[in-house]
Amino acid sequence: MRLLWISSFEAEAAPPPNSLPMVVLGHPGLAARCRRSDARTLFIPVATPGIGEPGHLFRTDGTVLMPLDAALDSGLPSVAQVLAGIERALLKGAP
């Protein structure tokens, strides 16, 4: 069992304390908080929607959807791009 944690909006939204191996797709500022001495955490920095990548913001208290444009090129992949790469690797049988 592994924990997949996705938090591309802010560096403060770190994964909860746990003993599972983790894959973290997160804001670049999360990197230091995700380092663990057991080396069972794979951290992949991703672009923030509305800053480094276009995206959408969904409000959870209703049906409001707000499209977001990229304000600058961060040089980081989007969460969708990283997940597509993980899917391709899994389909090819990569460990």
Domain spans in the chain, listed from the N-terminal domain onward? 3-91
Mean pLDDT of 42-60: 86
CA-CA distance, 66 to 56, in Å (whole number)?
6
pTM comes to: 0.81
pLDDT at 57: 80
DSSP string spanning 30-94?
Answer: GHHHH--TT--EEEEE-PPBTTTB-EEEE-TTSS-EEEE--SS--SPPPHHHHHHHHHHHHHTT-
CA-CA distance, 49 to 67, in Å (whole number)?
10
- Residue range 56-91, pLDDT digits in tens: 788 777 778 888 888 888 899 999 999 999 999 889
Backbone CA torsion sign across 5, 11, 13, 19: positive
Instruction: State yes or no: pLDDT of 37 exceeds 50.
Output: no
Which of 64, 67, 27, 20 is closest to 44 using CA atoms?
27
- In percent, how much of the chain has pLDDT > 70? 95
Strand 41-45 versus strand 22-26 pairing type: parallel
